[in-house]
Amino acid sequence: MRRFRQHIGNDLLVRIGIALVVMIAVLTAATYLYVYNSTRTATLRELEQETAQRVRDESTLFELAEDNLERFSEQFLRLYRSDVEVSEEEFWEMFSRDEDGAVRLHRRYFDGVFSDEGRYTYGMSGFVGNNQSVDDPDFRRRLVLSYRVASRLGPAFQTRFENTHVSFPENGIILFWPEEPWGLMAEPDLPMNELGTIAATLEENNPEREPVWTGLYFDETAQNWTITYEVPLDYEGRHLINPSHDVPLTELIERMVTDQPDGSYNFIIKHNGDLVAHPEPRPEEQKWIGQIEREDIENPVVLHAYERISEEFPNPQDAEPEELVEVIDNPEDDTYLAVASFPGPDWWYVTVYPQSLIREQAHESALVIMVEGLLMLLVVIVIVTVVVRRRVGRPLLQLREAAQALGDGRYDDVAEQRVAVPTHLPNEVGLFASRFVEMAGNIRDSDRDLERIIEERTSELKAANESLRELGLMDSLTGIHNRRSFDRDLTRLVRAVEESGGTFSLVMIDIDFFKQYNDTLGHAEGDRVLEAIGQSLRDMTRNEDRAYRYGGEEFAILCTNTQHEQAIAVAERIVENVRSLNISHPESPHGVVTVSAGVAELDAASPSGESVVKAADEKLYQAKAAGRNRLEG
């Protein structure tokens, strides 16, 4: 009989052990698959979103270059189509022919000179090769008109682009570049229109008249990795000029290539397979090469990645930019490739994410489940061994059936004893059975409580999100930040100055005679004026600054880390830009909608938000008292 009990007990222990091991194995496998799939889905979604967002964020510089040159082209064409004339005498007052036959803009336009209108011009140089005649009046006129536009817009563009060029199909160039008088230094026989970028703008080389992005190169003067953007400008079927920018990219490339979590990395490659940037150090012989041609790339991962990208996007030039963002499986190297295309230059931005990182997360989660399951198995075996020694038979079978029900998730069946459990026994088995029933009830109740808590938390989160949206920081009419945002940002800036030093400036802006405008034309027209000025502030404000609707017809701009003179320059451009909108205002002495502005810098002796607002307001009132349509700083 004793041997029979031991046999039954051992058999029961073995069966329970096997059942629990199988359950733990199944749970571990299920956990692994679930974690792997959910982690993979979430990771790939995050990769795609992050890659797209980074490209959108970093594309601002390229888009700004395109906007600048579009604006330049419009202003040049407006001048070119006008009746403005340039006499031969006027041309030779600005230019001279050197001893080698090259025509160059006089040095004084680089050093600084006042125009007849009192405008100060500096940083300008110009050059026409000695193989090109300047006898054509139209060519001379285009040179002078390009000088006028470049000397006016070049300083405005300089906040993000240190130079602005205007090249000509006739082998001439006009430059705004305060760092170097290039037009005075160029070799007299330099054939610019036969080389590189300028040649690519000529009609025989570019019949589609598409803008030209150069390859990456190192600008030794600026000590910066750079590409050049050039736009051929035609009028009535004739090639007139090519406005262009040098776009500095060292900081952008460093951010995009090096800023990545451990385990993954980024690189940039052209649509034709030339490597632009990669986190691995280059060999010494390739150190100063802007981009490595495809046949010279030694990294097999880059080559495999390019092959997969080419398979996925065989004709990238035909797709819209928003379509060129995707995560690609790259089984050759056991990686995922998050790929996005830059607007402008034909670049792919690629994040290489090892698939092993996802598997590691799944392995870790499965290992935790397995260890916990084994510990649970050990505890159960010990308990069952003690019970079996005392009493074996039907109670043990009932407990096994109850355990199976619990393992199947039938908590109600155990808690309500629809599965027979020996709770009536006056011993440890009975006590264990009672606790078993209680445990099933607790688990059932916990599940219900958890579902209720999740519902409550979801409802609370939804309500909180609704409240957050209602407390938005944007002005709904103008699309710029509102007074609440201004107060918050001003407090932060003042605190930052107190803690770390530095300074900032505040520009207060008020629409002149706005009440009369509303009284005459109605509030609907007044709202459109507010919208237009809000758009103007967004266009004219630098990336590091922020514009606000302060209240009514009053606006404000916080110029961070900005000296007083720079803030005044920002405000002057805004006053001029609003005036140039040419919005008719019959009740204004200026005939159009204008603004007045006041600029104040944070007082380092007694920094406070109230003091800088008060100072800017006083300057604004001075501007209005002095006749409006002006700036006081």
| CA-based R_g, the chain, Å | 37
List the structure tokens of 465.
Answer: 């999100």
Sign of the CA dihedral running 468, 469, 470, 472: positive
Pairing of strands 595-601, 631-632: parallel
Please tell me the distance from the alpha carbon of residue 363 to that of residue 29, in angstroms, as a whole number. Answer: 10
Helices 428-470 & 394-407, crossing angle to 10 degrees? Answer: 10
- Closest by alpha carbon to 355, among 576, 47, 27? 47
From first CA to last CA, the distance across the chain in angstroms is: 107
- 553 as an active site residue: the answer is yes
Query: How far, in Å, CA of 189 to CA of 131, rounded?
Result: 7
Query: What own/partner pairs with CB < 8 Å and gap ≥ 24 does 101-106 have?
Result: 101/130, 101/188, 102/127, 102/128, 102/129, 102/130, 102/186, 102/188, 102/189, 103/127, 103/128, 103/134, 103/172, 104/128, 104/183, 104/184, 105/147, 105/174, 105/183, 105/184
Which residue among the candidates 230, 553, 601, 632 is catalytic per the annotation? 553
On whether the CB atoms of residues 226 and 69 are closer than 8 A, the answer is no
CB atoms within 10 A of CB 208: 6
Where helices occur in 501-595 by DSSP H, the ranges are 514-521, 523-540, 564-580
- The conformation of residue 273, written as its DSSP 8-state character, comes to S
Residues 6 or more apart whose Cβ sits within 8 Å of residue 285: none
Distance from C-alpha of 586 to C-alpha of 596, rounded to nearest angstrom: 18
C-alpha–C-alpha distance, residues 387 and 396, integer Å: 8
Residue with tokens 């979604």: 45
Chain centroid to CA 516: 42
How far apart (Å, rounded) are the C-alpha atoms in residues 542 and 205?
Answer: 37
Tell me how long the chain is.
633
Q: CB neighbours (10 Å) of residue 390?
A: 10
* Residues with catalytic roles: 553
